[in-house]
Chain A
Amino acid sequence: MNLQAVKVLALKEFRDLIRDPRIFIPFVLSAVIMPVIGIAISTAMQAAITQAVRVQTVAVADLDRTTLSRELVRWLSSKGFTVIEVSGGTLEELSQRAAESGASALLVIKPGFAEALEQGRKPSLDLVQILRDSPLFSLQGLGLADSVREFAARKLLEGKVSYDLVRDPVAVNSTIYMAAKGLLLTRPELLTGLSMAAMLIPLILLSIALVVMQMAATSVAVENEERTLETLLTLPISSYDVLLSKLLGMFAVSMLGTAFQVVGMFAYFYLILTVSFAFTREPGQALNIELMAAPTDITVIALSLLISLFFAAAVGMVIGVLSKDVRVANTLVGPLSMLFYIPALFILFAPSSALGKAAIAVLYTLPVTQPIVAARDMISARLPSEMPVYLVAALALTILIVYAASKLFSLETIATLQYRISSFIARRGALVAKSRKT
């Protein structure tokens, strides 16, 4: 390897990329978009919660007109509901009146309500939720049905047994013991927070890897398009050195861009996680990441992430080599990005027990999947003792990709492959156009 030449070419690549402000657009955009999404989601969630917990106005149509039905209306008022009484007409007409009165729900106490309760039968009521906007986060009627059920249960049990005892007859203290970590979680809901933390790494990786891959593919495709590649290939350096230097220069730029994205991603999760009901914090055993992951584990994950991004850049470079121009490179990056998406989704949703030892070894070796599976295991289990071997294997695989790409990196091979890929894309385009016509 000609280190001096690699250094000089890598510097050229770095300068050429970093001086192009367009290169940072995807990084900055995703860095800005993530907190904006975070604000949008958390605001919507907050609004839904506020609406759910505030005093609700409910319309009640008492068609039973008995002592018990009147008692139910008073019971609802005592539970914090603002009750507006409506009467007469069909269910549709009652709903319309309820909506006009500003109620969020309509409760129809049908005739026979009191009689059923007195005879120990299940009474029947109608509950109509009044929808005024998006059904997403709509929580109208929340708690009204529960209040009615409680009222009925209390009446049925009156003089026999305590309602509270029936509702929760056994005191169960639910805890989770994380065997791999020897950790007792006295608040199981903490796992929700931990799972979100485990998902953070794959999400960051996916979004950054795709940008890095795109950047690498474009960078090499531009060399093809601008015909500067021919010059590079006749310089007194090997094609492996040419590719490696491009990769290093480009990777240095993408690391700077990545910093923007990581900040944006953390801002997003901060906004989401600070919404009050997301999970409960408990002093001493709140979402303490240090409790779940040792500093050495975090270092390993960081190393794994770096290798994974380097691999994404190498894959992007192969795409660039095969593309005669930027347009072809962009066409190829989309489908090949599935290389990252599919394993990430698989790991996020497939339980470890469903995977055999061989499959786990493969997931740990592939740079695409390694940080995702490692992050998940770091949170919920333990990193395998063979982790250093897996790190070396992933790095070796990445170098192998660069080496294989350098073998492809002859004008003869590139010209042949580019011709085939362009023909394939053109044939596909013609087929699509034909099918649209028919």
Chain B
Amino acid sequence: MKDFGVFRALHGVSFEVEEGEVFGLVGPNGAGKTTTFRILAGLLPPTSGEVRVLGASPGDLRIRRYVSYLPEDAGTYRNITGYEFLEMIAKIYYGKDGEEALELGLKIAGLGSAAYEKMKTYSKGMKRRIQVARALMVKPRVAILDEPTSGLDVLQAREVREIVRRYARELGTTVLISSHNMGEIEATCDTVALIHRGRIITRGRLAELLSSYGARNLEELFISLVGEVA
């Protein structure tokens, strides 16, 4: 559970994600997705209950190296270049041996010569790509991506989705994605949890959930479940 003063943001959120899975947390705006992910990233403590990430408390300095978090709408530093930003991350994680991570980051970002320009000149899509690259270049065991395609147009969103799917598979990273875009979760995730008003209303493997509720897609499933809950 998570309370902010008198407001209860999360009522009872419980789920497990297996190693190597691509897990989607889906729900409308204000359902509690960001709060859940912030708790998993160690940015917020839960008011009650227990959360374990890689067997440790979230935010523990020992596991931070293995957990990447991409906040929703994460901005960039205006006056440093994409290359310098990725180089900084590589050095923080690997010190002088960060060359390989930097190369991977540049490859994931795919910005070409634009990587050497100040990030204030980047489009929203480019900023998002650099942030996704930042999150994946350190080969995390767990990547927590909060609304990774939020605010992007259709083409940019598709590009980012493909980057996440491809590199998660290549790097063997466990990925947690949140989105209010049901189609995006369907296209990206193996397992899903549906969250509404701070509660997980169902969870499981995507195909199994759809067949057990007789829904054609996540949207139908969500609407039928929310109707039941309401």
Residues of A within 8 A of B (CB): 4-5, 8-9, 11-12, 15-17, 19-20, 225-228, 230-231, 233-238, 410-412, 415
Contacts and interface: CB of A to CB of B under 8 A. Distances in A.
A227 B73 CA distance: 7
21 contacts: A4-B92, A4-B95, A5-B91, A5-B92, A8-B91, A9-B88, A12-B80, A12-B84, A16-B77, A16-B78, A17-B79, A19-B118, A20-B78, A225-B75, A227-B73, A230-B41, A231-B70, A231-B74, A234-B64, A235-B92, A415-B44
A230 B71 contact: yes
B44 A412 contact: yes
A233 B77 contact: no
Contacts of A15: 79-80, 84
B93 A226 contact: no
Interface string B60-89: 010011011111111111111000110011
Contacts of A235: 64, 89, 92
Contact of B76 (A19, A228, A238): A228
Contacts of B54: none
Contacts of B78: 16, 20
B42 A234 contact: yes
B79 A228 contact: no
Given A9-B92, A227-B73, A227-B74, A19 B80 contact: yes
Contact of B71 (A9, A227, A236): A227
Given A12-B84, A235-B92, A236-B64, 14 more contacts: A4-B95, A15-B79, A15-B84, A17-B79, A19-B118, A226-B75, A228-B75, A231-B71, A231-B131, A231-B134, A234-B59, A234-B68, A234-B69, A411-B44
Contact of A8 (B43, B61, B68, B92): B92
A412 B78 CA distance: 26
Contacts of B74: 227-228, 230-231
B141 interface: no
B45 A236 contact: no
B38 interface: yes
Contacts of A227: 71-75
Most buried by A among B65, B84, B91: B91
A325 to B, nearest CB: 12
A228 B93 CA distance: 17
A384 B75 CA distance: 50
A248 B83 CA distance: 22
Interface string B27-46: 00000000000100111110
A228 B64 contact: no
Contacts of A231: 69-71, 74, 131, 134
A19 to B, nearest CB: 4
A318 B50 CA distance: 31
A287 B183 CA distance: 80
A226 B131 CA distance: 13
Most buried by A among B45, B68, B75: B75
Nearest to A228: B75
Given A15-B79, A226-B75, A411 B92 contact: no
B164 to A, nearest CB: 17
A169 B72 CA distance: 87
Given A9-B88, A227-B73, A19 B42 contact: no
A15 B45 CA distance: 33
Contacts of B72: 227
Most buried by B among A17, A234, A410, A411: A234
A228 B85 CA distance: 12
A16 B44 contact: no
A411 B75 CA distance: 16
A225 B73 CA distance: 11
Given A230-B74, A233-B43, A8 B88 contact: yes
Contacts of B38: 230, 411
A237 B91 CA distance: 12
A212 B38 CA distance: 32
Nearest to B146: A230
B205 to A, nearest CB: 29
Given A4-B91, A412-B45, A236 B65 contact: yes
A227 B67 CA distance: 18
A411 B80 contact: no
Nearest to B134: A231
Contact of B61 (A11, A19, A20, A236): A236
B71 to A, nearest CB: 4
B84 A411 contact: no
A306 B4 CA distance: 41
A11 B77 CA distance: 13
